[in-house]
Amino acid sequence: MLNRGLDKLELLRIVEAVANEKSIDKELVIESMESAIQKAALTKFGSDNDIKATIDRETGEIKIQKVLEIVSAPEDLSKEISLENAVKLNKKNESLKLGDKIFEELPQIDFGRIAAQSAKQVISQRVKEAEKNRQYEDFIDKKGQILSGIIKRLEYGNVIVDLGKAEGVIKKDDLIPREILKNGDRVKAYCYEVKKELKGHQIFLSRAHPQFLARLFFQEVPEIYEGVIEIKSVARDPGSRAKICVNSKDSSIDPVGACVGMRGSRVQTIVNELHGEKIDIIKWTEDLPTLIAESLSPAEIQRVLIDQDNNRIDVILTEENLSKAIGRRGQNVRLASKLTNFEIDILTDKEDSERRQAEFKDRTENLIKNLEVDETLGQLLVSEGFQSIEEISQAKAEDILKIDGIDENTAKELIERSKENLIKSRKEISEKLKEKGVDDSLMNLKGITQGMLVILEQKNIKTLKDFSDLSSDELIGGFDEVKGKKVRIEGYLEEFSLSRQEADNLIMSARDIIYGGQEK
């Protein structure tokens, strides 16, 4: 590839041709050639030398130089030189000093067969690396977009797609179930990840990802592309059914109608791409009960009970609407839950009534047993909103006096008994926790309740050190990405409705005590 007789300008023409063919920077090709010349020169003049090879970017002239450092007492003559000899060698009459480097011209080399082959390998390797980097930079910007390509081959259920300048892979789990793809087919897919690895880059595509549906609407609906209509959330059961929630920033534009299109033309194009996947388009609203009711269409909802603290919703409906709300194999309620990010429980009005009666009975029996009151008084307290012993202990006498049939002495007695019961109960729980190995340091951490300690002990978190090693996501829950999809991770203390700030403060307090030696 390189030889002594190679015309200097011809060398630059080769550089230009390689750079254009591989779509890489010309400078990278020259640098790789310089590395190849340097490697060959080291073989000829000795690998102990420090040799620098340069190619003039304008003329193509090759210069090979031996690099020597000026030292007071040279030991390695292949890399070091005395100041006296350096002055003699230096023809430019520059002022030299210890620590400077000078360059001794070496004769041009004639590349032998082995040296030329070695140089070719170096250049080839550097060009391949540059080509891989260029491809990675090209595709990293395409993450989050739909890419189109030709199916090149099938490997163990995965589909390899030719994207032109690179290959993408659609894993088996990212394909639409029961979809038949063949070599030579043109296919669209959502690019959810571009990984840079030692062997090169990998482009991961998906046809099952919820964002594939979102991006198809982005392409088909001009109002979404222009930002007039926004997609709030998407939930999919790939190949079967999907729900998409849309909102219009312009009150004069119906977001659902715009997404459906004239005679369903827009949505039908997307349905065809997804091989018949049914798509429910839902108009977004800030009124959560209305949004839940729309998400569970075609079922008719009677009542919605929202538990914001635990991110749960109870939906009450008639027996006739139960199967519609749940859907085939629970599909409808499952998609509605993903769409709204709420855990949805479906109850018939009869089941809701039975559940309320069971809760009323349990709460009444708890008051009868622990406060030693009769059934009538227990039922009366629960009916008036006192759901637990703790609520009674925190109440004022005048709050209880509002209940018909209760005098001042009875009210005070109820509050006193509640407080005594709580003290006794907490003491018993504390002793059980100690028996199970929970440290006092964790039990005394400010902000930790006994209920939290019980849950933590079940998770084998018994010491302040155990607790300090946790993250806030482990306490309150969060999201992780698995195979390009967002997965909900349940937190240990999720039921206590801690904010992220409160979780962070608890963990930092534990770390301060352990690592700062401060008791808080």
What mean pLDDT comes out for the span 129-149?
A: 77
Residue 513 class from Cβ within 10 Å (0-12 exposed, 13-18 middle, 19+ buried)? buried
- Each as own residue / partner, the long-range contacts of residues 55-64 (CB below 8 Å, 24 or more positions apart, any chain) are 55/11, 55/30, 57/30, 59/8, 59/9, 60/7, 60/8, 60/9, 60/10, 60/11, 60/12, 61/8, 62/8, 62/11, 62/37, 62/108, 63/105, 64/37, 64/105, 64/106, 64/107, 64/108, 64/109
- Report yes or no: 463 and 434 within 8 Å, Cβ to Cβ: no
Q: Where are the alpha helices (DSSP H) in 221-287?
A: 222-225, 255-260, 265-273
Q: Is residue 9 over pLDDT 70?
A: no
Q: What percent of the chain has pLDDT over 90?
A: 21
Q: How confident is the model at residue 2 (pLDDT cuts 50, 70, 90)?
A: very low
Q: Within 13 A of 433's CA, how many CA atoms are on the CB side? A: 26
Q: How far apart, in whole angstroms, are the C-alpha atoms of residue 16 and residue 160?
A: 32
Q: Does 3 score more than 50 pLDDT?
A: no
Report the C-alpha gap between 124 and 334 in whole angstroms.
53
d(Cα 214, Cα 65) in Å, to the nearest integer? 60
**Taking the domains of the chain in order of start, what are their residue ranges?**
8-135, 141-206, 436-520
Contacts with 402 (C-beta within 8 Å, 6 or more apart), sequence order:
384
Residue 267: what are its φ and ψ, rounded to 5°?
-70, -30
The answer to whether residue 379 scores a pLDDT higher than 80 is yes
| The token pair that represents 108 in the structure block | 């041009």
Contact 225, 219 (CB under 8 A): yes
Q: Is domain 141-206 annotated with CATH 2.40.170.20? A: no
Just give the CATH number of 436-520: 1.10.150.20
Tokens standing for residue 73: 């007492």
Answer yes or no: is pLDDT of 486 > 80.
Answer: no
Lowest mean pLDDT of 65-79, 88-102, 214-228, 352-366, name the range. 88-102
Q: Measured in whole angstroms, how far is the alpha carbon of residue 423 from the centre of its chain?
A: 45
Task: Name which of 252, 258, 216, 248 is nearest 234 in CA terms.
Answer: 216
Q: Name the residue type at position 89.
A: L
Task: With a cut of 70, say whether residue 370 has pLDDT above it.
Answer: yes
The more confident residue out of 258 and 80 is 258
8-135 adopts what CATH topology? N Utilization Substance Protein A; Chain:P; domain 4 (3.30.1480)
Q: Of 358, 409, 360, which is closest to residue 386 (Cα–Cα)?
A: 360
Same fold, 141-206 and 436-520: no
Whether residue 224 contacts residue 199, with contact meaning beta carbons closer than 8 Å, is answered with no
Decide which of 165 and 434 is more confident: 434
Candidates 232, 252, 251; CA nearest to 294 is 232
